[in-house]
């Protein structure tokens, strides 16, 4: 599983988490579909396992360790994707939508007064 907590925090969360965040932003900025976050996270998980092995003598072939690392990186990638997508929607279509929190947007209500004829 996790060989060392400081290595997990430093390599997986800080370094590779930053890479996952940038990958999620890049995917959302270019309007790619959400499913593309999954292969990116799988690849980043492989790189993370290799860095832990090469730099800190961790176990390379650890399926539970790879799973934990990949799930953490997938969550970061998906969160960055959704945050960037919400920001882009509100910036690009200000007449249609407005921001609704960090991860969402909502339709703007266009209320026109009804006149009796």
The string of pLDDT tens digits covering residues 12-54 is: 999 999 999 999 999 999 999 999 999 999 999 999 999 999 9
Burial code of 59-77, b = ≥16 C-beta within 10 A, e = fewer?
A: eeebeebbebbbebbbebb
Let me know how long the chain is.
117
pLDDT of residue 55: 93
pLDDT of residue 91: 93
Among all chains, which residue has been given the structure tokens 């339709």?
107
What pLDDT band is residue 3 in, cutting at 50, 70 and 90? confident
Give the DSSP letter of residue 60.
S
pLDDT of residue 111: 54
Question: pTM score, two decimals?
Answer: 0.88
Measured CA distances, 51 to 13, 91, 106, 108 (Å): 13, 37, 41, 46
Give the C-alpha separation, 42 to 28, whole Å: 18
Sign of CA dihedral 1, 3, 8, 42: negative
């Amino acid at each position: 599983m996790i060989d060392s907590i400081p290595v997990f925090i430093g390599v997986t969360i800080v370094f590779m988490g930053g890479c996952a965040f940038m990958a999620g932003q890049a995917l959302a900025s270019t309007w790619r579909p959400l499913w593309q976050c999954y292969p990116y996270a799988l690849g980043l998980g492989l790189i993370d396992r290799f860095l832990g092995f090469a730099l800190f003598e961790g176990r390379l072939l650890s399926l539970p360790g790879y799973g934990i690392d990949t799930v953490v990186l997938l969550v970061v990638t998906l969160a960055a994707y959704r945050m960037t997508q919400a920001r882009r929607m509100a910036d690009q279509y200000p007449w249609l939508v407005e921001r609704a929190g960090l991860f969402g947007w909502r339709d703007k209500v266009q209320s026109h007064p009804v006149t009796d004829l």
